[in-house]
Amino acid sequence: MNCIFCNMQKERVVLENDLGYAMYDGFPVNPGHLLIIPKRHFSNFFESTDTERTALFSLVDDAKKILDQKFQPEGYNVGINIGEAAGQSVMHLHIHLIPRYIGDVEKPKGGVRGVIPSKQSY
């Protein structure tokens, strides 16, 4: 299979459990940007099992603890792109855990609403 997440080099893995793993994003939005990825290959969140969701969000919690200690961010965005229309570029589910810092953008209000820039401010 020609999937970058299925063929991931183990030395890039920061955290792991039976059903998923976490690694730093190769194109980080901010320092500490992590991806949480299931070991099973499937493209979107709605194809995951309840057990996989629990395991993946357990990794999100554990990853946040690491990022809190290592990077001391003031906030986080947690996001999942599902489908090309939503910006998904790797068709293997992955959850973005993005540390946020005061001043990293001029006006952070609206957060994830910024995926449609004209709708971010309200």
What are the catalytic residues?
94
Q: Is 38 left (phi over 0), alpha (psi -120 to 50) or beta?
A: beta
Cα gap 102→27, rounded to integer Å: 20
Cα gap 121→72, rounded to integer Å: 26
CB 82 within 8 A of CB 88: yes
Q: Residues near 104 by Cβ (< 8 Å), separated by ≥ 6?
A: 30
* Lookup: tokens for 102: 């005061």
